[in-house]
């Protein structure tokens, strides 16, 4: 994460990001089912490594920046919907 992002920006973005994930993965969840500070991977939203790859592609297309599998911060970036949203907010070009 390179640019500091305000908590208000992240609070406004995370529902959009979760909706994008739910749609991209055809999940049977609603926004109300998702804790913004709960885990994306495993418990929480129940995502696996293949889901993370698909999410990365969707995010890259939607927000105009490349998510990289070799980013040393990926564990932190993909830890929760809020963390992912903060990363997107700091990197997005669209």
Q: Which residue has the tokens 């991977």?
A: 41
Q: Which tokens go with 72?
A: 């040393």
Q: Which tokens go with 14?
A: 């995370």
pLDDT score at 87: 95
First to last CA, the chain: 17
pLDDT score at 1: 43
Is 2 inside a domain boundary? no
Question: How far, in Å, are 17, 62, 74 from residue 39 at the CA level?
Answer: 14, 22, 13
Total domains present in the chain:
1
Query: What is the CATH number for 50?
Result: 1.10.1200.10
pLDDT tens digit string along 45-54? 989 989 999 9
3-state secondary structure of 29: coil
Is 72 inside a domain boundary? yes
Is 68 inside a domain boundary? yes
The alpha-helical segments, DSSP class H, found in the chain are 7-24, 49-63, 74-77, 81-91
On average, the pLDDT of the chain sits at: 92
pLDDT tens digit string along 39-72? 998 888 989 989 999 999 999 999 999 998 899 9
- pTM of the predicted structure, to 2 decimals: 0.91
Q: Which residues pair with 41 in a beta bridge?
A: 47
pLDDT score at 2: 55
Residue 55 domain boundaries: 7-91
Q: What is the mean pLDDT of residues 17-28?
A: 96
Q: Which tokens go with 42?
A: 């495993």
Is 79 inside a domain boundary? yes
């Amino acid at each position: 994460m390179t640019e500091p992002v305000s908590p208000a920006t992240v609070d406004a973005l995370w529902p959009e990001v979760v909706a994008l994930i739910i749609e991209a993965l055809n999940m049977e969840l609603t926004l109300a089912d998702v804790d913004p500070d709960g885990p994306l991977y495993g418990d929480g939203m129940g995502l696996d490594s293949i889901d993370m790859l698909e999410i990365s592609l969707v995010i890259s297309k939607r927000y105009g920046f490349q998510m990289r599998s070799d980013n040393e911060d990926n564990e932190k970036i993909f830890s929760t919907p809020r963390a992912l949203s903060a990363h997107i907010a700091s990197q997005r070009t669209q």
